[in-house]
Structure 1
Amino acid sequence: MTPARFQADLLAVPKAVPELRAAVRGHFGGPCPDVQLCVSELVSNVIRHVGEGAPIRVRVSGGAADGCIRVQVTDPGPRALPVLQYATATDESGRGLALLDAVALRWGVEQGGDWKTVWCELE
């Protein structure tokens, strides 16, 4: 995979999730399921926990010599921090960060004034 930078500024709405997956796939020149999954889950978390229509910035970078890809989603909800949960078989939600945690090397949150960035790194 060649070095790549992808950035999109948009509103966090449900129709943006599949559009972002397709844009990331197109940017990398083919399927990148783990990257697409992380983008989907992070944007879906903004919709659910910050609010539909929140302005976001999605960035994907890396994939060069070290092979590490970093996915970042910045939103205006500094108090809506992600919490890793483990859903039971009967839970209808709560698996997003567990999936991200399973495929990512590491993930975290950076905060500043009136924003936060949730990021993850993939091999």
Structure 2
Amino acid sequence: MTQETCVARKPWDLAFTAEPTEVAGLRRVMRLHLSIWGLHDLIDDAQLCVSELVSNVITHLGPGTPATLSVSMNGVHLRIEVHDPDTRALPTLLDVNADSEAGRGMALVDAVAARWGVQLCLDRKVTWCELATGLTSPNGHVEGPGVQRAQDLLEFYGGAKPPLRLASGQVGRAVAEESVIEVITDFLHWLRAHGCDVDEVLDRAQTRYEAGLDGYGDGLSCCSRT
């Protein structure tokens, strides 16, 4: 398994009516998709961008305006677009102070996004922004110490290399047990980074472990407390 083929992040879009009551729902949809995509660290910034881009439509075009939210990957950047039917009202970045109420939306987007802009089409306007993901490839995962160690272990197991033997004695067993706990923790990080349901995987592993006990009998008692 390589990092380049880990996570499929297919573009998606959602038509909506620009109303204040719709913003919370769009934020939830964004959170759900980014969780599935393993981009947990981007959720807050992405939700902020969605809120401000949609609020821009409501403010300048009025409630009830038909619009579309589109989300995709542009290389290793997360791209968020809001499409609306008006090609005249263009978002602008204003030089506003801390007390200003107007013009703050795009300033907030500008503060968290790597870049943003406006694309004019014949029948619509597309206001977009892109967030840096920290990915090494569009289908990869965000690196972290635990995730990388688990990846190394997967490659180790895949190579069918002989496992390390358990050290003898109580101290050796305690050290080995802590190492196993660390390995399991790393795999949980790896699963979360790939958008997997950690609880479901743990349940399946427990079921498989218990089913396998019948075949092993009492032979595996190295971690017994008795």
Instruction: Work out the percentage of aligned pairs sharing the same amino acid.
Output: 46
Q: Which has a greater percent of strand?
A: 1
Deviation larger for 18-27 or 4-13 = 4-13
User: What is aligned with 1:77?
Assistant: 86
User: What is aligned with 2:18?
Assistant: 12
User: What is aligned with 1:89?
Assistant: 98
Q: Give, in whole Å, the separation in 2 of the partners of 1:96 and 1:33.
A: 15
Note if 1:48 corresponds to 2:59.
Answer: yes
Q: CA deviation at 1:88?
A: 1.9
Gaps of at least 5 residues in structure 2 are 1-5, 133-226
User: What is aligned with 1:62?
Assistant: 73
Structure with greater Cα Rg: 2
> Which stretches of structure 1, 4 residues or more, deviate above 4 A after TM superposition?
none
Q: Give, in whole Å, the separation in 2 of the partners of 1:22 and 1:73.
A: 16
Note if 1:33 corresponds to 2:39.
Answer: no
Match of 2:81, SS?
Answer: strand
Cα displacement string for residues 59-106 of structure 1 (whole angstroms, at most 9, x for unaligned residues): 11128xx43100000001110000101322322232110110111111
Q: Which has a greater percent of helix?
A: 2
User: What is aligned with 2:108?
Assistant: 99
| RMSD value, Cα | 1.8
Note if 1:22 corresponds to 2:28.
Answer: yes
User: What is aligned with 2:135?
Assistant: none
Contact map agreement 1:6 1:24 (CA 8 A) in 2: no
Match of 1:86, SS?
Answer: coil
TM-score under structure 1 normalisation?
0.89
Q: CA deviation at 1:6?
A: 3.1
Contact map agreement 1:4 1:28 (CA 8 A) in 2: no
Match of 2:82, SS?
Answer: strand
Count of residues paired in the alignment: 121
Q: CA deviation at 1:116?
A: 0.3
TM-score under structure 2 normalisation?
0.50
Specify whether residues 34 and 4 from structure 1 end up closer, same or farther in structure 2 by C-alpha distance, changes over 3 A only: farther
